[in-house]
Every structure is written in structure tokens, then in C-alpha cells.
Structure 1
């Protein structure tokens, strides 16, 4: 004799344990994932931030290239982390016009930067001699009103938090700068943030 068909209530009662186990499993996964994400946010350090404050290249109107030019700039380095120190092996700086390096100099030697602190990098570069072709390009840009330079900063850094110490990273920051005919940074480039990459 055939069994009578099961009612909807009976089907629900039979499937409830499986649904309850699945719901508990998914809830556990969600809670564990949320805890891990919050821990990652707390431990994952933020990159240092760099901002251009000033930049000048006096003597852009001279005829002998960068031979006697002193390039002056001021860059601030900010550690935005709440409790993580940043250790810099050193910071080397170079100034480029397009693809040609026109100045290079060590800026800071090994130092530790406390959380929520700012370090000022203020240096004077003795410009190297640009070739005639590049110097003519600079003169043409100056005539048009804007000469584009870039300050490139490089260092090996390590994030330090209590006894937790991450591996060294190669850091690169590049600050693009627009300079007027007088050799002074244009207002549009002041306080401009510099992209930072770690490898």
C-alpha cells in the first residue's frame, strides 16, 4: 500500500537539521573571516607618504646647462601608522628632467621614524651637465611657461611594531614637479602627494 504524501510541515521538520547545520557553518565562517580581516587591518602597515613643499632651479636662463646650477627642494615624509615604526636604511634622492638624471645625492642615513610623525628632507643638489639636446628642450619648455622635473626617492624600509618586525622592502617614490620660467615650483605642484611603491 502506497504511503500518503508528506505534508509541507513534515518536509520542513525533516530538512531543518541540515539547514541549521549549514547556517551555523556559514555564520562561523563569516565571524572568523571578519575577525581575520580586523586583525589584518590592525597589523597591516600603511606606506609612508611623501609631499613636495618647495623646489627651485635657479639659473634656468643660463647658457651652459646645469654646470653651475644648485637644485633645492623640500620634501616631507610622513609615517601615517598609529603604532608602527618605520625603519629606513637610508634615503637616496635624484632629480630628473624627462629620462636624464640631472642631480643625485644621499639624503638621510639609517633612521627610525616614530608613528604619526613627519620628517623633513631639505637638500641642495649640484646639478650635473645636461647634454645640449636636453638643455635646448629645457629652454623650449621654459619659453612655453612650464618645465617638468621629477624627484625620485629610494630606500630600503622595514615596518616595526613591538617585537613584530616585517622584512625589508625596496621603496620608490616619485614626485612630479612643474617649474615656472623663473625656476620656482608652480603652486599646482606644492603639497602634491608622491606615488609610493614597495617591492
Structure 2
């Protein structure tokens, strides 16, 4: 009779089965089941990455568009300037007369009449003088008048007149002495100026408004020491014009 404590021989060892009925392959470890397959790791998704890319792309496109528009606008302005060639008008002082001049104590009296000839040399652009004023000065004596606005067509000449009056206009004694001193020498110099807000036009094209400045420096008025009237000495003269 065989000893029950000894293992039985002649029978194969029992096999291990998976729950699905398949036989498990032999394992080098004591764990009776095979290791589960590794799971792939999910990549981290940043929702702001596409947004940042869109923002950078939009900014680059925006600035590129601005640069293109600026270049196109500059090219158009340059072409228009080449075609129209705007030039400043010419101002020539034609006449200057002085009547009823008196300078005594600390006041001055007198009437000045100034005549200009304004010429628009532009072949394709008219000039509109929207606001225009003129002044005459001698040292601290300064007189100013407002003139009527006008429009000047291409290649035309327009007379412009201004009248200044001083009635007991107070000045310092040194100004009175200077006027009487120049009068005794036979000539009194005056500075005549014009300031105008102008607009240049050519058909539908309108350039921006610009302030025109005109200066006729030290224009001499011939007058004798015992007279109260005088006229322009040396004939007409061109004035300096700039913006």
C-alpha cells in the first residue's frame, strides 16, 4: 500500500488557465499571472499654445498691413507732388505811402498805405487765402489789420492792399526819438509782414492747410524833415515767403 504522504507520480502537473480559457505561458517569476501590457502615456495639451500662436500671427499680419498701407500712401503722395509740383506764391511790395506823420512826447500819429502784388506761379493748383492779416512795425511801434480772404487761380496776379492807422498810439520816448532821427536823415525804414492760412487745390485734390509768412524787411519811406508825408524809396521789391 502506497504511503499517502508521498506525492503521486506518473501524472502531469496541473496547468494554470486564464479567465478567458487560454493557457498561461511559463513565467520566470513565482507570480502565476503574466504582467499587464504597459499603457501609453497621454501627452499634455496646452490650450493656450494655439491661442498664443494666433495672437502672434495676428500682430505680425497687422503691422505688415500697416507698413504696406504707409508705403502705398507715401508713394501716392509723392506721385501727386511730382505731378502737381506745388510752389509758394510770390509777394512783391509795390507801394508804401505815409501821411500825417507826427511823433512827439510819447505817442505817434500817421496813416500807412501798403500795396502788394501776389502771383500764383502754379500751373495746376489754385491758392485759397482763408485767413489773412498784415502788419507794419518800427521798433516797438506795431500796427496790425485783418484783410479780406480771397482765392487765386493758377498763374494769376492779385493786388492786395492794407491800410494802417495810428491815432495817439503810445510808445516809449526812445521810439519817438528814433523816428524823428531817421526823418531828419530823409528816410524811415519799416518792416511789413503778411500772415495767411492757405489751402492749395487741384480739382478734387486738396493739400493740407499751411500758414504762409511774408516779410518785407526794412522798407524805406522817403520823407523830408519838415514834411509829414512820404513814399516808397527805391521802387518795388520782392518779399521773403516761407511756411
Q: Structure 2 length normalisation: TM-score?
A: 0.59
Name the residue aligned to 1:184.
Answer: 230
Unaligned runs of 5+ in 2: 1-77
Q: Whose RCO is larger (CA < 8 A, sep 6+)? A: 1
Aligned length: 160
Equivalent residue, structure 2, for 1:118: 157
Match of 1:5 in 2: none
TM-score computed with the length of structure 1 as normaliser = 0.71
Deviations 1:99-131 (A, max 9, x none): x2432110123x321111122122221124332
Question: Are the counterparts in 1 of residues 136 and 191 from structure 2 also a CA contact under 8 Å?
Answer: yes
**Hey, what's the Cα distance between the residues in 2 that align with 1:62 and 1:56?**
17
CA distance in 1, matches of 2:199, 2:214: 15
Cα distance in 1 between the residues matched to 2:152 and 2:160 = 13
Higher percent of residues as helix:
1
Whole-angstrom CA distance in 1 between matches of 2:117 and 2:106: 29
Q: CA RMSD in A?
A: 2.4
Aligned to 2:104: 63
- Report the CA distance shift for 1:71/1:132 in structure 2 as closer, same or farther (over 3 A): same
User: CA separation in 1, counterparts of 2:186 and 2:194?
Assistant: 26
Q: Cα gap change, 1:42/1:101 in structure 2, threshold over 3 Å: closer, same or farther?
A: farther
Native 8 Å contact 1:172 1:197 kept in 2: yes
Q: Please, which runs of 5 or more residues in structure 1 have no aligned partner?
A: 1-36
The CA deviation at 1:47 is: 0.5
Aligned equivalents of 1:71, 1:154: Cα separation in 2:
18
Classify 1:149/1:74 alpha carbon distance in 2 versus 1 (closer, same or farther; 3 Å). same
Shift of 1:74: 0.8
Match of 1:138 among 167, 179, 185: 179
Please say which structure displays the higher CA radius of gyration: 2
